[in-house]
Amino acid sequence: MLKNRIIPCLDVKNGRVVKGINFVDLKDAGDPVEQAKIYSDGGADEICFLDITASNENRDTIYDVVEKTSKKCFVPLTVGGGVRSVEDINKLLNCGADKVSINTAAVQNPEVVEQSSKKFGSQCIVVAIDAKKNGDKWEIFTHGGRNNTRIDATEFAKKMEDSGAGELLVTSMDRDGTQVGYDIELMSKISSMVNIPVIASGGVGNLDHLVDGIKLGNASAVLAASIFHYGKHSLKEAKEYLDSKGIPVRI
Amino acid sequence: MNVTIVDYNSGNISSVINSFKEVAKDKVNIEVTSDLNKIKSSDKVVLPGQGSFKSCIDALNNIGGLVDTLNDFVISNKKPLLGICVGLQMFADVGFEETETKGLGWISGKVSKIDNQDGKYKLPHIGWNQINIVKDSKIFKGIEINSHMYFVHSYEFIPEDKAVISATTDYSSNIVCSVEKENIFGTQFHPEKSDKTGLKIIDNFISL
């Protein structure tokens, strides 16, 4: 039976791990390579690096981080943030990333998704959708949550599936950093619309939120940062808890 | 001993390289090349593969003499080869991803899209799934039944002779996830991404 995945996410800025609250107010909390190794030894099903300020700053540091991590961690490594072109994707894959997540570029230039999934295979193309609720729909935000594109998130999700995305990483901008739980409505809506796996992100504050993301949001995988990062819960605890709730996990 | 990972522009092989180097340490020399002479003289070959069946076959054919060299290595000289993901799928006679494409024909069978039962199952089949070991395979030495492996694929290999199947996994149906036919080994899952158990499989292959 296929297991639901738990993916710890490390926000990286200038080669160091940080975790933002609503994408601002950053705290420095360590070396990403060591953190990733701790997570992979602790049973992470996958590790995600998000280069958070990559759209604005020199991002060469992330290549070094990815290269070092991929020599130490033998679980899938997803890298996102500031990925603009097929060449950026190629470079990250060559450094040892297994999947690359594309956000702003997928919205501005959807051909990047089409071209890269053809070139590298859908298995390594994740489209990251940052969405915020507006009335009865969700709108896509880009540039680390600063620009509202007014694009309908659910329609965009379908379009990305058709363009060759292998997975969707769906983040609720309303919930990110708040620790009040995933936007379940958004997750389940997108998950029911597409036939590719959805990774739920944004808002995890406790282990029940992970359960809800899978059971109610129908996510294939759940991504979380701060609950693991600051030692509030270990991955082992999280997996045992999900298991106790009848969710298939790799233990 | 030399183990060669065939570098034929089949997509991202850095994780395969990293994992083999991690396991090999200094005991075994890991070459990453498409040089025909180096492949010929190596003791074992690893055939990775990402992307579509067609793109991988095209990439093999784009390197003059590579398919013949691999055929000699595997069929005439009977030296061990491990195919990973599409690397395994290419053992088949034919694949149906993108368009009908002739495979290497080392193990009779076809590669078809996984039946997702009208959308009931998501594709690609991504994540950790347990393997049912159905045959004693040399690469599963020390691997427990129901071990978790990391998968990412939408197509499956359906061999004609079921005796070659060494492990299956349950998704929308019972999917063949490992084969062994004499000196030919293949895994649909990614041992290089399957944590310590995956590295053990790589170690078993290197130690054959």
CATH no. for residue B12?
Answer: 3.40.50.880
Phi, psi values for residue A194, rounded to 5°: -115, 160
Strands (E), B71-201: 81-84, 94-95, 101-102, 109-113, 125-130, 132-133, 148-153, 155-159, 165-170, 174-181, 184-187
Tens of pLDDT, residue by residue, chain A (251 residues): 999 999 999 988 888 888 643 334 444 557 888 889 989 999 999 999 999 865 555 668 899 999 999 999 999 999 999 899 999 999 999 999 999 999 999 999 999 999 999 888 899 999 999 999 999 999 999 887 888 999 999 999 999 999 999 999 999 999 988 899 999 999 999 999 999 999 999 999 999 999 999 999 999 999 998 888 777 888 999 999 999 999 999 99
Q: Taking CB atoms and an 8 Å cutoff, what residues of chain B touch A4?
A: 127
pLDDT reported for residue A27: 47
Distance between CA atoms of A80 and A78, rounded to whole angstroms? Answer: 7
Q: Are B11 and A121 an interchain contact pair (Cβ–Cβ within 8 Å)?
A: yes
Q: Collapsing DSSP states into helix, strand and coil, what is residue A134?
A: strand
pLDDT reported for residue A25: 45
pLDDT reported for residue A57: 55
**Closest residue, chain B, to A89 (C-alpha):** B12
Domain presence at residue A249: no
Count how many Cα atoms sit within 13 Å of the Cα of residue B46 in the half-sphere of its side chain. Answer: 31
Distance between CA atoms of A245 and A239, rounded to whole angstroms? Answer: 10
Distance between CA atoms of B176 and B157, rounded to whole angstroms? Answer: 6
Phi-psi region at A135: left, alpha or beta (left = phi > 0; alpha = psi -120 to 50)? left
Largest CA distance in chain A: 46
- Give the residue numbers spanning the domain of A239: 5-244
Give the residues across from B174 on adjacent strands.
Answer: B170
pLDDT reported for residue A29: 54
Residue B197 contacts A where some CB pair is shorter than 8 Å: no
Q: Are A124 and B50 an interchain contact pair (Cβ–Cβ within 8 Å)?
A: yes
**Which residue is catalytic, options A51, A88, A130, A212?**
A130
Residues 96-125 of B with CB under 8 A from A: 116, 119, 122-125
Domain presence at residue A251: no
User: Is the sign of the CA dihedral A11, A13, A16, A22 positive or negative?
Assistant: negative
Q: What's the mean per-residue pLDDT of chain B?
A: 96
- Give the residue numbers spanning the domain of B28: 2-206
- CA-nearest of B147, B146, B156 to B186 is B156
Q: Are B50 and A123 an interchain contact pair (Cβ–Cβ within 8 Å)?
A: yes
Give the residues across from B3 on adjacent strands.
Answer: B30, B44
Per-residue pLDDT for B144 more than 70? yes
> To probe the interface with B, which of A1, A2, A78, A114 has the most B CB atoms within 10 Å?
A2
Distance between CA atoms of B180 and B206, rounded to whole angstroms? Answer: 15
Q: Is A212 a catalytic residue?
A: no
Tokens 């808890």 label which residue?
A: A241
**Which member of B51, B119, B192 has the closest CB to residue A74?**
B192
Structure-block tokens of residue B117? 């039962």
Q: What total number of domains does chain A contain?
A: 1
Q: What's the CA dihedral at A185, A3, B51, B118 to 10 degrees?
A: -60
Q: Work out the burial of residue B145: count CB atoms within 10 Å of its CB; fewer than 13 is exposed, 13-18 middle, 19 or more buried.
A: exposed
pLDDT reported for residue A210: 98
Give the residues across from B159 on adjacent strands.
Answer: B109
Q: What total number of domains does chain B contain?
A: 1
pTM assigned to the model:
0.94
Distance between CA atoms of A114 and B195, rounded to whole angstroms? Answer: 30
